[in-house]
Structure 1
Amino acid sequence: MIKTNQQSSVISIFERYLTVWVLLCMAAGILIGEFVPWIPELLSRFEYYQVSVPTAVLIWIMIFPMMLKIDFTSILNATKKPKGLFLTTTINWAVKPFTMFLIASFFFLIIFNGLIENELAREYIAGAVLLGAAPCTAMVFVWSKLTNGDPAYTLVQVSVNDIIILVLFAPIVALLLGVGNIVVPWNTLILSTVLFVVVPLALGIVVRKWVINQKGSRYFENVFIEKFDRVTMIGLLMTLVTIFSFQGERIVQNPFHILLISVPLIIQTILIFSITYFGAYACKLPYNIAAPSAMIGASNFFELSVALSISLFGLNSGATLATVVGVLVEVPVMLFLVKIANRTQSWFSSEK
């Protein structure tokens, strides 16, 4: 009992100061990329269709504990509650890309006029649009866990978004950017979906079934799952170190522009979260569906955004820098929104 209490105390302290650990890990990644560049150069060799294999493994570590909690029955039950799915898809595809375009255009072409050259400003707008048109796939499982979201419902929401991306992503980007003949890196999109959703889900189902068959459901729920309490957070921190080690040089070389790019991205994230969260409240959704719904809309599928930006505009373009800044600002902002959601949980019902 003492050991369990000590473990809970450590976890509580760890999660309470998670924002600090996140910022430290981001800084560590940037320093590694700047002063020990051979490390990210070595890791970058393990890349397939613009998807980093080391990053994929760390993302598996992040979301695997949540996948363990999912069974087929809960997935089927989630599909019987369509309001949350409708809210998420509506915000993600009828609102989010367009508000991102408007906010980015307003700041880069009007507010920051004179601080950024017009051509570069339009590249930053392009990068922002690529972020806004790609709802989150992998990281949202972390935000859902931190807000005690329904894991099965989160999975269904992410899966629906992945299917819609295949149809709407390219046309929306083409419409907003006025770029014809956009070639979406389908291999990157499909591989990312398989790696970040299908593989960890399948592994979680297999492990769940095996442990329950061997030890029983009570052992699984009360003992086995608890062993993974800190795994998600450790995976998140290691992922941030890795991602920012890849982008350290670019970030260090553009500090002022990174600050400017961050402003519309932060405003967009908070705006979309607020619209979705209050929409969930108006729809009388339970908290464990409302919180993840808002998180999915607010966060972005940065792997796809970065890959497509490199494909369309080049590695050293302003658009690619904007997508990288999207990763830089998203994690601290999302942790802030997680705290907001948890503190307002009493607004919602606790219906399962």
Structure 2
Amino acid sequence: MTVDAPVGQPLSTLDRFLPVWIGLAMLAGLVLGRAVPGVATALDAVTVGSVSLPIAVGLLVMMYPVLAKVRYDEVGAVARDTRTMVLSLVLNWLIGPALMFALAWLLLPDLPEYRTGLIIVGLARCIAMVIIWNDLACGDREAAAVLVAVNSVFQVFAFALLGWFYLDLLPGWLGLSSSGLDVSPWQIAGSVLVFLGIPLAAGYLTRVVGERRRGREWYEERFLPRLGPWALYGLLFTIVLLFALQGDQITRQPLDVARIALPLVLYFAIMWAGSLWLARLAGLGYARSTTIAFTAAGNNFELAIAVAIAVYGATSGQALAGVVGPLIEVPVLVGLVYVSLWARRFFPDTRAGVTP
């Protein structure tokens, strides 16, 4: 899905067969994890913010090209759009966690460890892969950059508080069993700094220097087309490593994975569809609505996995639920990219952020 290609321009082989490459990357990761003893130990030997260094590199490679495409001189207009900001904050910090809490308790009442892990996933709002899904679906890059930054700030200050509310306070009010969540704000801030701060700074500097030296026309028509494919290379690399790291655990517990997967699929579908519909009702155009939908549906699995491992241990059910999160999110949100592109016909203006 080449987001900048003119209508009628043929898609590249990478874009045209993206679901195939993702499926092959998942399979390659599973085979690698099963065929090479000790690969998981090797991947976890060096970590960045509690995340494997090779996976961290893949995520940074994935995010940098997309953030280099952002027109930072247009970001201010997004920040001043009250409808976009309020709707995104409500969806991410009120509706999203509440929906995951409800689905986890409804579908996993007898599996407290997995249920807790899913609630943690619901609290960790997306600051990484959402950039890719938004770009593939022709969303508003400038809006995505702003919303991801806002989510990052809220994540630092709100994650631990919401964890206490949904894992301890609210279950007590409802007469349900509760479990605490002890996580440092510094751990969250470190995750935000690594997985958003570094690629954001690199993308901003690349655009500023590139436009200053060669002009915007050269930067967007010559430089970005060469840089763009690296985002998908980083995505595929990351998927291979994720499946290699957790493939053995997943293949040994297929029924448990299926139980965890059901609420996740429902969560991604409900959040995405509901967010797109609400944005359309609010008078936002296709690009801005799509950005709101993907930023609301995606989750920060790096943070969720890191927190689950730090609090409950690497072999815990909470950690397994965190790992299953991105493995379900990737194929589901890739499918929603295609649904989103199909849904453009229902928006009066498919380019602008706000309908006429």
Give me the TM-score of the superposition, normalised by structure 1. Answer: 0.90
> Residues 57 and 262 of structure 1: is their aligned pair in 2 closer, same or farther, counting only changes over 3 Å?
same
Residue-pair matches, total: 336
SS of residue matched to 1:344: helix
Deviations 1:268-291 (A, max 9, x none): 110111111100010111211110
1:134 and 2:124 aligned:
yes
Native 8 Å contact 2:119 2:166 kept in 1: yes
Q: Which residue of 2 aligns with 1:76?
A: 76
Native 8 Å contact 1:143 1:334 kept in 2: yes
Find the aligned partners of 1:60 and 1:258 in 2 and give their Cα distance. Answer: 28
Find the aligned partners of 1:99 and 1:51 in 2 and give their Cα distance. Answer: 27
Q: Which residue of 2 aligns with 1:22?
A: 22
SS of residue matched to 2:163: helix
Native 8 Å contact 2:160 2:185 kept in 1: no
SS of residue matched to 1:138: coil
Instruction: Using the TM superposition, give the Cα deviation of residue 329 of structure 1 relative to its aligned residue in structure 2, in angstroms.
Output: 0.4
Native 8 Å contact 1:138 1:196 kept in 2: yes
1:183 and 2:179 aligned:
no
Native 8 Å contact 1:302 1:326 kept in 2: yes
Which stretch of the first structure deviates more once superposed, 175-184 or 237-246?
Answer: 175-184
Instruction: Using the TM superposition, give the Cα deviation of residue 247 of structure 1 relative to its aligned residue in structure 2, in angstroms.
Output: 0.8
Q: Which residue of 2 aligns with 1:36?
A: 36
Q: Which residue of 1 aligns with 2:263?
A: 264
Aligned-partner residue type, residue 60 of structure 2: W
Deviations 1:217-249 (A, max 9, x none): 211111111112321111110010111211122
- Larger RCO (alpha carbons 8 Å, 6+ apart): 1
Aligned-partner residue type, residue 274 of structure 1: A
Find the aligned partners of 1:301 and 1:188 in 2 and give their Cα distance. Answer: 13
Structure 1: which 4+ aligned runs deviate by more than 6 Å?
none
Native 8 Å contact 1:309 1:319 kept in 2: yes
Deviations 1:297-317 (A, max 9, x none): 111110111111112222111
Q: Which residue of 2 aligns with 1:60?
A: 60
Find the aligned partners of 1:287 and 1:100 in 2 and give their Cα distance. Answer: 26
| Pairing partner for 1:166 from 156, 163, 168 | 156
Find the aligned partners of 1:143 and 1:99 in 2 and give their Cα distance. Answer: 21
Native 8 Å contact 1:185 1:308 kept in 2: no
SS of residue matched to 1:192: helix
Instruction: Using the TM superposition, give the Cα deviation of residue 163 of structure 1 relative to its aligned residue in structure 2, in angstroms.
Output: 1.2
Find the aligned partners of 1:10 and 1:338 in 2 and give their Cα distance. Answer: 15
1:254 and 2:253 aligned:
yes
Native 8 Å contact 1:184 1:308 kept in 2: yes
Instruction: Using the TM superposition, give the Cα deviation of residue 70 of structure 1 relative to its aligned residue in structure 2, in angstroms.
Output: 2.4
Aligned-partner residue type, residue 297 of structure 1: A
Find the aligned partners of 2:344 and 2:131 in 1 and give their Cα distance. Answer: 18
Find the aligned partners of 1:168 and 1:207 in 2 and give their Cα distance. Answer: 31
Find the aligned partners of 1:15 and 1:94 in 2 and give their Cα distance. Answer: 35
Find the aligned partners of 2:89 and 2:37 in 1 and give their Cα distance. Answer: 40
> Residues 19 and 219 of structure 1: is their aligned pair in 2 closer, same or farther, counting only changes over 3 Å?
same
Find the aligned partners of 2:166 and 2:181 in 1 and give their Cα distance. Answer: 12
Instruction: Using the TM superposition, give the Cα deviation of residue 180 of structure 1 relative to its aligned residue in structure 2, in angstroms.
Output: 6.7
1:87 and 2:87 aligned:
yes
Q: Which residue of 2 aligns with 1:154?
A: 144
Native 8 Å contact 1:131 1:300 kept in 2: yes
Q: Which residue of 1 aligns with 2:174?
A: none
Find the aligned partners of 1:341 and 1:260 in 2 and give their Cα distance. Answer: 27
Q: Which residue of 1 aligns with 2:171?
A: none
Aligned-partner residue type, residue 310 of structure 1: I
> Residues 270 and 64 of structure 1: is their aligned pair in 2 closer, same or farther, counting only changes over 3 Å?
same
Q: Which residue of 2 aligns with 1:213?
A: 212
Taking only aligned residues, the RMSD between alpha carbons, in angstroms, comes to 1.9
Instruction: Using the TM superposition, give the Cα deviation of residue 10 of structure 1 relative to its aligned residue in structure 2, in angstroms.
Output: 5.9
Native 8 Å contact 1:75 1:156 kept in 2: yes
Native 8 Å contact 1:185 1:307 kept in 2: no
Native 8 Å contact 1:305 1:323 kept in 2: yes
Aligned-partner residue type, residue 323 of structure 1: G
Deviations 1:45-92 (A, max 9, x none): 221341222222211211212211224321212112121121111011
Native 8 Å contact 2:62 2:235 kept in 1: yes
Deviations 1:159-210 (A, max 9, x none): 1111111222222222222257632143432222112222112111222222
Give me the TM-score of the superposition, normalised by structure 2. Answer: 0.89
Aligned-partner residue type, residue 170 of structure 1: A
Q: Which residue of 2 aligns with 1:351?
A: 352
Find the aligned partners of 1:37 and 1:83 in 2 and give their Cα distance. Answer: 52
Native 8 Å contact 2:49 2:194 kept in 1: no
Find the aligned partners of 1:180 and 1:247 in 2 and give their Cα distance. Answer: 25
